[in-house]
Structures are given as C-alpha cells and as structure tokens.
C-alpha cells in the first residue's frame, strides 16, 4: 500500500515510472476540473468524509475532516486472484486477460470511457446542491458521493493510462473536457446531461441512476479483463453508499409527506405531495433504464462472447456460462402493436441486466410503501412500466402510458404533465429548497435519518461552515 504517495495506490505505482509520470501530469488537470466543476461554495470547508485507504472488507476506509480539494483520491484494486480465468463467453475457462486483447481494444476502451464519463458528469450535475442542503448530514452525504465519483474517475483513468497508451491518455484528457448539459461538448449518456438541481432530483438520481452504475459495475466486475474486474469490484463498495443516500433520502421525504398528509394539506404545510414524488420516480427511473442500452444488441452479444462484460453475478447466479443456445422472449413493437419476439440470449443481455435492475428498484419501492402503510395511508408509490418514456432501444420512437400500453404521441403529449415533472412541479420543489445548516436541524419537507454516519449522531457537525 502506497498511501503517502502523491497518488495513493495499491498498484505499486512507484515501480512503473512511466505510468506514474503520466498520472502525475493528469493530476493537476483533474484538480483544476474539480475546482471549476466540483461543489460550488464549499471548497474551503472541513467536511467529515471517508477516504478509501485499503480494499479489505474491514477497515477499508478512514473517516476525518478534510477539505475537498485535499481529498486523497487514490487508485485501489481488489487483489489479483492467482490463476484467474475468463468466467463466461466463447473463451470460458481460459486464463483471464492481463493486457488488453488487441481485437477487443476498441470495445474495451469504449466501455471504460463510457463508464468513466458518468463519474465527473454526476459531480457536475450536483455542483449547486450544497447551497440548498436540508441538513448538515445531507450536505456531508452529497460531498461524500461527489468525492467518490471523483475517485471512480481516477479508477477509469488509471485503466486508460495504464493499458491503452496514447489514445488512452487522450481519452483521459477528454473526460475532463466534456461538460454535463453543455450542448457543444455534452457528456456521453443522456441521463448525465439532465439537470439535477434540487434535492428531490438528487435523491431520485442516487436511487435510480447510481443504481444503474451498480449493475454496470457488477457486469464489469465479472470481466475477463482482470484489471477492469478488480477495479469495478472495489468501486461497488463505495457505490453502495450512494444508493443508500438515494434510497433513504427518498424514504425520508415519503415519511415526512405521510406525516403531513395526516395533518392536512401537504402543500399548505410546506411538504412535497406524493404525486410529485411519483413524477420524479417516473422521470429518473425511465432515464436510468436507457443507460442499459438497446433491448436487442449485437454489442452486448460481442462483449459477452469476448468475455469482457458478464451478467449480473455471473459466477454466483449461473451454472452455464456460454449462454450460447438460449432464447429470450421480449415484447417489441411491430405494425403498431406489441408482439413477442424471440431473440438469441446473448443479444438480449442488456435487457436481462435491466431486468435485474428493475427487481432491485422494486425493493426500494416496497420500503417506501411500507412507510406509507405504517402511517395508515392507502396511497402507494410504484414504478412505471419499463416501456414508458424511453429514449433508447426498442421502445424509443413509440409512446406508452405508465402501464406500458401503446398510445398515440398526441395522447402522450396531452397527459405528459400527469406523469412527468412539469415546470410548475419543479418550481414548487425548488421553492422549498432553503438551506438548513444549523447543527441538528432539518428542513421541513424531509424527515431526519434514523441514524447518523459511522456511529455519529444526527446532530454532529458533519460540515464545518464557520
Ligand atoms: Fe461512481
Ligand atoms: Fe455513484
């Protein structure tokens, strides 16, 4: 472990001078990006953050006050497994790739760049949120997510610099040049160009969009390209906290709304009505589904065949690892009707991964609905049908209602404001967003968390603003 190097790492960076020099050259550019695009207005504040210092299942993180630009962004990979094998696809059982196989070089670089691009993008999307935090606890969680997305960018940049030579270095530079939502140089994936400018958006984003990250990383953690697998395995431990922030954040909004519903009119009482929460769920769930790619995909087949991207928990969940002779049946639109179509399994793997993701999201909905039930309310939240409001894949270009029934574009446009956040919904939510920064205090529209962070109470000074 080289914790006190300029770039903390467990990959013996000091023994690879060329790579070390390249990354040390990238570091100041990264810091410039962080100062320009990281959380606005809090760069000189002490924040009680966890920093990854090891990859062991115990004690991998260190908690202390740190100013964000001084955060120790490091490179940490799970330890290599002796004689690691390719776990699926046409080369199943052969030794894992330790270097990039030439014929898959472009695909692999594309996978890494696409994943890498999401990490700084989310920091950019969230950079104004600190100014309207509902509590110091939430402010700290926002910054924790932000610095770790920064570290995830480092993880991908390490692979680009370490394994892709010249074009890897160019891609690493480009990761600092694109900007979320900028029409001239947008981020690669659309969900990462959507504004995330209020805390309901933030919680929905970390619940649904970070959870896409979990499934992409899980599929890559199975990769036969071992450095990628080991990197993604460790990123998943950090990612779990991001989803916790989203899941419990939305749960706390639901809890507060349920309380206010029993007291009177939620709007008059300054809370967020359930209908608005539902619309935010519909928006972020549908955009996040797009991130899995087309339902029928030759890329997914190629990546799987090559042993680059596996299925969710490939080793744990499956006994047959070639998926060569299987068929998957899905609904597609033909002659303006939904019809079943049989697809070779390997071409349907995006859809299979999306299915795993939907199951996971449903568990979140069940937790929130339990809060409503316990409050004695009969209203429930739900996930829209996965065909609803899609911009990628088989269903893009068609319009569906929340139940997944085909409808005309005209009808969709007419009813859109019932289903997705309208301008006035966004404005209403924004009107509630006033910063609450007194120790132990919380905004009116959200309930406090059940517990603080790492044994600290809720009324701990998670961020020192003084
Ligand atoms: Fe991430
Ligand atoms: Fe994340």
DSSP H or E stretch at residue 370: helix 349-374
Ligand nearest to the CA of 209: 2
- Give the distance, in angstroms, between the CA of residue 352 and the centroid of all CA atoms in the same chain: 18
Question: How many C-alpha atoms does 387 have within 13 Å on its Cβ side?
Answer: 19
Ligand nearest to the CA of 240: 2
Query: How far apart are the CA of 60 and the centre of ligand 2, in A?
Result: 17
Report pLDDT for 60.
Answer: 75
Measure the CA–CA gap between 308 and 224, rounded to whole angstroms. 5
What is the length of the chain? Answer: 466
Query: How far apart are the CA of 206 and the centre of ligand 2, in A?
Result: 7
User: What are the distances in angstroms from CA 101 to CA 38, 306, 356?
Assistant: 35, 10, 29
Q: What is the mean pLDDT of each run of 10 residues along the chain (466 residues)?
A: 77 93 95 97 96 71 93 91 94 96 93 96 98 98 97 97 96 98 96 93 97 96 96 92 97 98 98 98 97 95 95 95 96 96 97 98 98 98 98 96 98 98 97 97 98 96 95
Three-state DSSP at 328 gives strand
Query: How far apart are the CA of 320 and the centre of ligand 2, in A?
Result: 31
Query: How far apart are the CA of 118 and the centre of ligand 2, in A?
Result: 9
Scored b (16 or more CB within 10 A) or e, 48-60 reads bbbbbbbbeeeeb
Ligand nearest to the CA of 144: 2
User: What are the distances in angstroms from CA 360 to CA 90, 222, 285, 383?
Assistant: 29, 19, 12, 11
What is the torsional sign of CA 40, 41, 46, 48?
negative
Residues 403 and 100 sit within 8 Å (Cβ to Cβ)? no
Q: The whole model's pTM is what?
A: 0.96
Q: Which residues have CB atoms below 5 A from the ion given as ligand 1? A: 119, 149, 152
Ligand nearest to the CA of 205: 2
Measure the CA–CA gap between 162 and 158, rounded to whole angstroms. 6
Measure the CA–CA gap between 44 and 184, rounded to whole angstroms. 31
Query: How far apart are the CA of 175 and the centre of ligand 1, in A?
Result: 14
Query: How far apart are the CA of 238 and the centre of ligand 2, in A?
Result: 7
Query: How far apart are the CA of 153 and the centre of ligand 1, in A?
Result: 8
Measure the CA–CA gap between 275 and 324, rounded to whole angstroms. 45
**DSSP code string of 382-430:** -PPPTTTT--SSTTTTSEE-TT--EE-HHHHHHHHHHHS--HHHHHHHH
Report pLDDT for 466.
Answer: 82
Ligand nearest to the CA of 217: 1
Query: How far apart are the CA of 381 and the centre of ligand 2, in A?
Result: 24
Query: How far apart are the CA of 27 and the centre of ligand 2, in A?
Result: 21
Report pLDDT for 1.
Answer: 59
Query: How far apart are the CA of 328 and the centre of ligand 1, in A?
Result: 30
Ligand nearest to the CA of 211: 2
User: What are the distances in angstroms from CA 385 to CA 234, 238, 286, 354, 394?
Assistant: 32, 29, 9, 12, 14
Token representation of residue 311 = 């299925």
Query: How far apart are the CA of 117 and the centre of ligand 1, in A?
Result: 10
Ligand nearest to the CA of 117: 1
């Amino acid at each position: 472990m080289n914790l006190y190097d300029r770039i903390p790492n467990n990959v013996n960076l000091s023994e690879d001078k060329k790579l070390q020099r390249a990354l040390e050259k990238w570091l100041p550019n990264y810091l410039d990006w962080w100062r320009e695009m990281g959380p606005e207005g809090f760069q000189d504040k002490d924040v009680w953050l966890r920093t990854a210092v090891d990859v062991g299942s115990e004690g991998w993180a260190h908690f202390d006050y740190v100013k964000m630009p001084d955060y120790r962004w490091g490179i940490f990979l799970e330890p290599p497994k002796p004689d690691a094998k390719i776990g699926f696809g046409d080369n199943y059982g052969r030794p894992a790739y330790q270097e990039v196989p030439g014929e898959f070089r472009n695909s692999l670089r594309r996978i890494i760049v696409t994943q890498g691009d999401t990490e700084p993008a989310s920091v950019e999307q969230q950079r104004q949120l600190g100014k309207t935090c509902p509590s110091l606890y939430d402010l700290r969680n926002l910054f924790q997510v932000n610095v770790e997305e920064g570290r995830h960018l480092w993880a991908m940049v390490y692979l680009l610099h370490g394994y892709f030579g010249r074009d890897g270095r160019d891609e690493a530079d480009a990761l600092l040049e694109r900007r979320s939502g900028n029409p001239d140089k947008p981020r690669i994936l659309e969900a990462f160009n959507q504004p995330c400018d209020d805390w309901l958006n933030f919680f929905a984003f970390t619940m649904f969009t970070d959870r896409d990250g979990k499934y992409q990383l899980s599929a890559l953690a199975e990769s036969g390209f071992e450095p990628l697998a080991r990197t993604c395995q460790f990123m998943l431990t950090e990612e779990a906290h991001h989803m916790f922030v989203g899941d419990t954040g939305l749960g706390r909004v639901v809890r507060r709304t349920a309380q206010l519903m029993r007291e009177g009119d939620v709007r008059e009482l300054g809370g967020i009505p359930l209908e608005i929460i539902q619309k935010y769920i519909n928006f972020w769930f549908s955009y996040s589904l797009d991130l899995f790619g087309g339902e029928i995909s030759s890329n997914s087949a190629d990546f799987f065949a090559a042993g680059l991207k596996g299925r969710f928990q490939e080793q744990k969940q499956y006994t047959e690892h070639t998926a060569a002779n299987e068929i998957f049946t899905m609904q597609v639109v033909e002659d303006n009707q939904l019809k079943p179509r049989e697809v070779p399994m390997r071409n349907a793997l995006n859809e299979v991964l999306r299915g795993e993701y939907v199951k996971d999201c449903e568990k979140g909905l069940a937790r929130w609905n339990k809060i409503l039930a316990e409050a004695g309310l009969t209203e429930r939240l739900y996930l829209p049908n996965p065909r609803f409001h899609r911009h990628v894949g088989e269903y893009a270009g068609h319009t569906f209602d929340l139940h997944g029934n085909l409808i005309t574009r005209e009808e969709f446009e007419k009813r859109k404001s019932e289903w997705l956040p309208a301008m006035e919904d966004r404005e209403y939510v924004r009107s509630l967003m006033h910063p609450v920064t007194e120790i132990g205090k919380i905004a009116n529209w959200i309930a406090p968390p059940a517990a603080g962070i790492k044994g600290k109470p809720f009324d701990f000074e998670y961020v020192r603003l003084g």
